[in-house]
Amino acid sequence: MILKINPEGAELLPAGGVAGKGGYETVTMLKKQYGENVGVIFIGPAGEMLMTGAGIGNNDPEGNAGRYAGRGGLGAVMGSKGLKAIVLDSPKTFDVPVKDKSRFQEAARKFAKILLDHPVTGQGLPAYGTNVLMNIINEAGTLPIRNFKYGRWDKAGEVGGEVAAELCNARGGKATHACHPGCVMRCSNIYILPDGRSMGSLEYETAWGFGPNLEVSDPDQVAEMNYICNDLGLDTIEAGVTLGVLAEAGVIPFGDGKAAIAALEEVGKGSPLGRVIGAGATTAGKVYGVTRVPAVKGQGIPAYDPRSCRGNGVTYATSPMGADHTAGYAVTANILKVGGYVDPTKDEGQLDLSRNLQIATAAVDSTGLCLFVAFAVLDNPEGLPTIVEMLNAMYGIELTINDVVALGQSILKVEREFNEKAGFTKEHDRLPEFFYNEELEPHKTKFTFKEELDEVFNF
């Protein structure tokens, strides 16, 4: 079914010809049918086949089908309801009611300046997008290589943001652009494949998952895998981690981009191998008898090794959502020295760092702000008060900073309570054993926190 929403109301319509179609064709067909200015939220074949690695896609301002709510299997949930797409037809933009517009606009202008004045949100991200992190994380010895075997690779830069930006510009794409109207950071991009196909955005975690994680250094092969996932409706992080597990099992060779592409294409066929890939890394490990699976609570670990970015390791282990780097992005203080510095290879300060970031992130996420505002907010004492000012102007309320902190705590408490009722215990708040047993090169470090993780949510 298609759910069409406009100012007059909502109606369910037959999916018709878009049923079974990939993301790119789905967006093209629905925009042709309902108008170029409609927004399209959709699932690909992976979601229709109820694969737990499926995400929910959205078109970007240029119409590309490459913006995903990727993690957690939401595409399978949408597919289970028989809903192929949601078409949003709204003639107005930025028309949400605001209680005090002048107060809000003043705070918004101040916040935009805070973002533009910061070296990360005002310079690094607008120049090279999220993939600016590739060389930074690699230099830090924290880039997971060969299914989290090593922390550094001499070919990582070949799929980094600087190279990707050059290719985007040379082929008529965009090195950076806004993924939605009004964004001042503009850290997305439009990557054009050699045959002229517009893929959408090649993000850092995706470039890592299909690149260094598999020891693939060809940016076009990485982008092809990204394109396939966008079309199928697969979370690229989960797909990349899953392919790493398959390489660990010997199903595909490390360093063979063509084999990885062929494996991903099996997902669209609904073949046995394709369904294993679509089910994610934990399932792939069980099917192929691999215990060295980088996942927590059934979700693949993203592009920062927890043995040399220990604050992120704490977040991976304890986040109610599983291995979610965005839930408490300790890369800020561990690697980028944003909001202070906590040595990434030592235990001191990591529990507090992750806890505080998880609380703050839960609160900021509830506002609808992009997570990347955190870089500037952590470094500027006016950042969080300005967010609170925008909230108060928006809704005609008088929150304090303490109220916002309490909001973040309450969100995490509800999420934890849900997990407990679903059968999760403190034993699920742990990393896979190999992170405790194997030293990571070049730092020769192991992850150490176990029982201490039970104290993260002590509020």
The answer to whether residue 76 scores a pLDDT higher than 80 is yes
The answer to whether residue 63 scores a pLDDT higher than 90 is no
**Can you tell me the distance from the alpha carbon of 400 to that of 455, in angstroms, rounded to the nearest whole number?**
27
The answer to whether residue 94 scores a pLDDT higher than 80 is no
> Average pLDDT for residues 197-215, to the nearest whole number?
96
The residue assigned the tokens 């008060």 is 385
Q: Residue 361 maps to which CATH number?
A: 1.10.599.10
pLDDT at 82: 97
pLDDT at 365: 94
Inside any domain, residue 36 = yes
> Average pLDDT for residues 87-100, to the nearest whole number?
89
Tell me: the pLDDT tens digits for 225-239?
Answer: 999 999 999 999 999
φ, ψ at 191 (rounded to 5°): -95, 130
Same domain, 72 and 221: no
Same domain, 204 and 352: no
Same domain, 451 and 416: yes
pLDDT at 171: 96
Rounded to the nearest integer, the mean pLDDT of the chain is 96
Tell me: the pLDDT tens digits for 327-385?
Answer: 999 999 999 999 999 999 999 999 999 999 999 999 999 999 999 999 999 999 999 99
**Can you tell me the distance from the alpha carbon of 394 to that of 389, in angstroms, rounded to the nearest whole number?**
8
> Average pLDDT for residues 70-98, to the nearest whole number?
93
Q: What's the per-residue H, E or C state across 41-72?
A: EECCHHHHCCCCCECEEECCCCCCCCEEECCC
Q: Residue 50 maps to which CATH number?
A: 3.60.9.10
Inside any domain, residue 351 = yes
pLDDT at 83: 98
Same domain, 315 and 450: yes
**282, 300, 318: which is the final residue of a domain?**
300
Lookup: tokens for 296: 């927590």
Amino acid at 111: F
Same domain, 327 and 387: yes
User: Residue 93's Cα: distance from chain center in Å?
Assistant: 26
Inside any domain, residue 138 = yes
**270, 300, 330: which is the final residue of a domain?**
300
Of the pLDDT bands very low, low, confident and very high (cuts 50, 70, 90), residue 62 is confident
Same domain, 326 and 448: yes
Q: Distance between terminal CA atoms of the chain?
A: 44
pLDDT at 93: 76
Same domain, 254 and 350: no
Same domain, 343 and 263: no
pLDDT at 182: 83
Same domain, 370 and 396: yes
The answer to whether residue 202 scores a pLDDT higher than 80 is yes
Distinct helix (H) and strand (E) counts, the chain = 21, 11
Same domain, 145 and 293: yes
Residue 60 structural domain: 2-88
Same domain, 267 and 319: no
Tell me: the pLDDT tens digits for 10-49?
Answer: 999 999 999 999 999 999 999 999 999 999 999 999 999 9
Inside any domain, residue 116 = no
Instruction: Look at the chain and report how many structural domains it folds into.
Output: 3
Say whether pTM exceeds 0.75: yes
Inside any domain, residue 269 = yes
Inside any domain, residue 180 = yes
Q: Residue 162 maps to which CATH number?
A: 1.10.569.10
Inside any domain, residue 94 = no
pLDDT at 402: 96
pLDDT at 253: 98
pLDDT at 316: 98
Same domain, 290 and 320: no
**300, 318, 348: which is the final residue of a domain?**
300
Of the pLDDT bands very low, low, confident and very high (cuts 50, 70, 90), residue 66 is confident
Of the pLDDT bands very low, low, confident and very high (cuts 50, 70, 90), residue 311 is very high
Inside any domain, residue 14 = yes
Task: Quote the DSSP letter at residue 120.
Answer: I
The answer to whether residue 146 scores a pLDDT higher than 90 is yes
Percent of the residues in the chain that have a pLDDT greater than 70, as a whole number: 100
What is the side-by-side strand order in the sheet with 174-177?
174-177, 188-192, 198-200
